[in-house]
């Protein structure tokens, strides 16, 4: 019997259990899976566009939701390899063999690479394809909301590129709200600001300046209860400490008194100060006549305080300018006793008055002057033509034709007119209720505003009073022509008085509309 050794037992391999994913890892995994799924979906739409020679317009519009400019370039490249035009809705062969690789322009002295143009059948398809590519978003597809429908404009093969683009701009402009028009206008103004290519503008922060600290008075640190310590050094004597009385600082008090005097003298027509002076004199019995004072012998006269200073030897008088005459009030003699005169010092003559410079006031136009000047600048020949035809023939001229004939077709003017029309119509709604006007004047107001030349953005920035008077002028100019009932005229005068105007001033502004200087 043969004995065989049993095989050694296998080692048991211990497998570690997978740790559960953290919330962050789960989020990363889900986003990666979603991104891969979207990339596959993008490739499916790419295949739809380069697997067939001609694609429907609706398919190309829906594909814009899943395409980026770089993925669309890949589609054009694949179609050119299969000898199809790079524009997906065209099945004609490209002009690869006809065009040369480079084109030399002698007038502009440039060399153009035509390799990209060779992928299309014609220059029109090249422009249409670039127009479609320009509308594609650079945002990654996995960031987009795929439930939203695409708003890309596709130009058909038979349409002219420039005419189709202008028609689309006109359609989108009409569908935009007033808020969107304002935002586009603001963005256009910001885009017109020139860029600082030479880095001449610098942002500099203001340096913070610490507030000044009050410097302590010299020697105040060694002042003890009003006494200052000084070291007295003399020859052949020891050093001693001498306490010296600190001199009172009288300068702030004198400054305050001088400032009060300047305030009194600064305004001589201050009636309140004059009244207080009169009352003070009344309390001092200075407003009585001499006969009244003589009838009261028991009244104690007011005597000026005598100085208590010792007599001082008189020095020779110095030459001084002639003093101003000081008026004195002398009381009559009572019981044989003479009273001392009361000296009243003329403080106003002792010190010159402080001149106060008046600010120059720049003249400002009144409300009537402002509106009249604005209308004179705004009104054009088209405004007069529209109002003349409306008054004489009772017919409205075609506004687009009228604006085109007078060279008033401008996008900036159109946007400013939209803003001005909105403000005027809001004000006219209130004015219409006050005048009880039943007829429709809103369309004519908008048409008249369209004929204005709004060359400056400040013409649109009107305050409430200016906007109200502007509405009064337009309403008066159109109501005189279109309304047969004159019952609104009486209430119209009350509306004019609300802004301190009259019907004559409104008529003067209406004449500017009909007879303009432009």
User: pLDDT tens-digit profile of 367-390?
Assistant: 888 888 888 888 888 888 888 888
Q: Which residue has the tokens 């650079």?
A: 138
**Arithmetic mean of pLDDT, 41-59:** 92
Q: Which residue has the tokens 């500099």?
A: 204
**Residue 450 in contact with residue 410, Cβ under 8 Å?**
no
- The predicted pLDDT at position 72 comes to 94
What is the value of pTM for the model shown?
0.36
Which domain does 422 fall in, by range?
367-514
- The predicted pLDDT at position 58 comes to 92
DSSP output for 179-226: HHHHHHHHHHHHHTSPP-TT------PPPPPPPPPPPPPTTGGGEETT
- Based on the number of CB atoms within 10 Å of its own CB, is 466 exposed (0-12), middle (13-18) or buried (19 or more)? middle
From 119, 139, 160, the end of a domain falls on 160
Number of H helices, E strands in the chain: 18, 7
Burial 331-360 (b: 16+ CB within 10 A, else e): beebeeeeeeebeeeeeeeeeeeeeeeeee
- The predicted pLDDT at position 71 comes to 94
63 Cβ neighbours under 8 A, 6+ residues apart: 45, 48, 49
Q: What is the pLDDT of residues 59-115, one digit of tens each?
A: 999 999 999 999 999 999 999 999 999 999 998 998 876 667 777 777 877 887 778
Q: Is 225 domain-assigned? A: no
- The predicted pLDDT at position 134 comes to 92
**Residue 46 in contact with residue 59, Cβ under 8 Å?**
no
- Between CA 132 and CA 86 the distance in angstroms is 12
- Between CA 337 and CA 321 the distance in angstroms is 36
pLDDT band with cut points at 50, 70 and 90 for residue 288: low
- The predicted pLDDT at position 514 comes to 82
Q: Is 40 domain-assigned? A: yes
**Residue 511 in contact with residue 487, Cβ under 8 Å?**
no
Q: 142's torsion region: left (phi>0), alpha (psi -120 to 50) or beta? A: alpha
Backbone angles phi, psi at 505, to 5 degrees: -65, -35
CA 144, 146, 150: angle at the middle one, nearest 5? 95
Q: Is 54 domain-assigned? A: yes
Q: Which two tokens stand for residue 141?
A: 């597809």
- The predicted pLDDT at position 270 comes to 56
466 vs 253, residue with greater confidence = 466
CA 105, 107, 111: angle at the middle one, nearest 5? 25
219 Cβ neighbours under 8 A, 6+ residues apart: 228
How far CA 172 is from CA of 169, 175, 408, 417, in Å, comes to 5, 5, 21, 17
- Between CA 263 and CA 54 the distance in angstroms is 93
- The predicted pLDDT at position 38 comes to 92
Is the pLDDT reported for residue 441 higher than 60?
Answer: yes
Q: Is 150 domain-assigned? A: yes
Q: Which residues, in sequence order, are bridge partners of residue 231? A: 241
In whole numbers, what is the pLDDT of the chain averaged over residues?
Answer: 75
How far CA 450 is from CA of 296, 341, 403, 428, in Å, comes to 89, 86, 8, 17
Which 3 state secondary structure label does DSSP give 112? strand
Q: Indicate the number of domains in the chain.
A: 2
CA 104, 110, 111: angle at the middle one, nearest 5? 50
Is the pLDDT reported for residue 235 higher than 70?
Answer: no
- Between CA 458 and CA 378 the distance in angstroms is 12
> CA gyration radius for the chain?
48
Q: Which two tokens stand for residue 444?
A: 């004519």
21 vs 389, residue with greater confidence = 389
**Residue 239 in contact with residue 233, Cβ under 8 Å?**
yes
Which 3 state secondary structure label does DSSP give 162? helix
Is the pLDDT reported for residue 325 higher than 50?
Answer: no
**Arithmetic mean of pLDDT, 284-290:** 53
pLDDT band with cut points at 50, 70 and 90 for residue 42: very high
Is the pLDDT reported for residue 321 higher than 80?
Answer: no
- The predicted pLDDT at position 228 comes to 55
Q: What is the pLDDT of residues 141-195, one digit of tens each?
A: 988 888 888 889 999 988 888 898 888 888 877 777 778 778 878 877 777 777 6
Is the pLDDT reported for residue 280 higher than 90?
Answer: no
- Strands 240-245 and 110-113, bridge-based pairing: unpaired
How far CA 467 is from CA of 149, 371, 412, 440, 500, in Å, comes to 42, 9, 21, 20, 14
**Arithmetic mean of pLDDT, 351-364:** 61
- The predicted pLDDT at position 76 comes to 93
From 135, 160, 185, the end of a domain falls on 160
Q: What is the pLDDT of residues 293-316, one digit of tens each?
A: 444 444 444 444 444 444 444 444
State the chain's maximal CA–CA distance in angstroms: 177
- The predicted pLDDT at position 41 comes to 93
CATH number, domain at 146?
Answer: 1.25.40.820
- Between CA 190 and CA 321 the distance in angstroms is 70
Q: How many other C-beta atoms are found inside a 10 Å radius of the C-beta of residue 291?
A: 8
Helices (H), 69-160: 69-81, 123-134
- Strands 240-245 and 328-329, bridge-based pairing: unpaired
Is the pLDDT reported for residue 278 higher than 90?
Answer: no
From 129, 160, 191, the end of a domain falls on 160
Q: Which two tokens stand for residue 382?
A: 């088209």
**Residue 71 in contact with residue 41, Cβ under 8 Å?**
no
**Arithmetic mean of pLDDT, 390-406:** 83
Q: Is 17 domain-assigned? A: no
Q: Is 167 domain-assigned? A: no
* Percent of the chain scoring above 70 in pLDDT: 67
Range name among 220-229, 357-366, 453-462 with the lowest pLDDT average:
220-229
Range name among 271-275, 381-385, 470-474 with the lowest pLDDT average:
271-275
């Amino acid at each position: 019997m043969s004995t065989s050794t049993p095989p050694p037992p296998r080692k048991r391999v211990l497998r570690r259990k997978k740790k559960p994913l953290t919330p962050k890892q789960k989020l990363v995994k889900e986003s990666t899976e979603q991104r891969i799924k979207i990339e596959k979906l993008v490739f499916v739409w790419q295949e739809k566009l380069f697997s067939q020679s001609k694609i429907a317009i609706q398919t190309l519009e829906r594909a814009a939701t899943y395409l980026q400019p770089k993925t669309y370039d890949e589609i054009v490249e694949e179609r050119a390899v299969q000898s199809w035009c790079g524009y997906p809705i065209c099945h004609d062969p490209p002009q690869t063999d006809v065009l040369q690789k480079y084109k030399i322009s002698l007038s502009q002295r440039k060399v153009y690479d035509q390799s990209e143009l060779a992928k299309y059948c014609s220059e029109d398809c090249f422009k249409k394809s670039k127009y479609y590519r320009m509308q594609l978003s650079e945002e990654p597809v996995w960031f987009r909301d795929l439930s939203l429908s695409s708003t890309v404009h596709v130009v058909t093969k038979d349409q002219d590129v420039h005419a189709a683009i202008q028609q689309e701009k006109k359609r989108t402009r009409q569908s935009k709200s007033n808020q969107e028009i304002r935002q586009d206008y603001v963005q256009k103004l910001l885009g017109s600001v020139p860029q600082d290519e030479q880095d001449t503008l610098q942002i500099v922060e203001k340096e913070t300046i610490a507030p000044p600290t009050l410097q302590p008075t010299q020697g105040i640190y060694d002042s003890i209860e009003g006494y200052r310590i000084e070291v007295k050094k003399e020859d052949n004597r020891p050093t001693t400490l001498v306490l010296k009385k600190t001199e009172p600082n009288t300068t702030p008090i004198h400054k305050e008194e001088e400032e009060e005097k300047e305030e009194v003298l600064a305004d001589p027509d201050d009636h309140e100060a004059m009244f207080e002076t009169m009352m003070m004199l009344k309390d001092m019995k200075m407003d009585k006549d001499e006969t009244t004072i003589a009838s009261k012998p028991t009244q104690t006269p007011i005597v000026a305080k005598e100085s208590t200073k010792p007599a001082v030897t008189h020095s020779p008088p110095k030459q001084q300018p002639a003093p101003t005459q000081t008026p004195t009030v002398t009381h009559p003699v009572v019981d044989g006793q003479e009273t001392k005169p009361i000296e009243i010092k003329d403080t106003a003559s002792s010190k010159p008055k402080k001149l106060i410079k008046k600010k120059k006031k720049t003249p400002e136009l009144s409300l009537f002057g402002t509106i009249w000047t604005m209308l004179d600048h705004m009104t054009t020949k088209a405004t007069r033509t529209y109002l003349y035809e409306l008054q004489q023939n009772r017919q409205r001229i075609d506004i687009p034709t009228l604006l085109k004939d007078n060279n008033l077709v401008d996008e900036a003017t159109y946007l400013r007119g939209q803003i001005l029309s909105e403000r005027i119509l809001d004000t006219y709604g209130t004015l219409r209720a006050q005048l009880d006007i039943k007829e429709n004047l809103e369309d004519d107001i908008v048409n008249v505003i369209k004929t204005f030349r709004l060359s400056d953005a400040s013409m649109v920035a009107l305050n409430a009073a200016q906007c109200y008077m502007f509405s009064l002028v337009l309403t008066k100019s159109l109501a005189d022509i279109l309304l047969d009932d004159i019952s609104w005229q009486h209430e119209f005068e009350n509306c004019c008085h609300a802004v301190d105007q009259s019907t004559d001033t409104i008529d003067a502004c209406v004449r500017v509309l009909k007879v303009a200087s432009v």
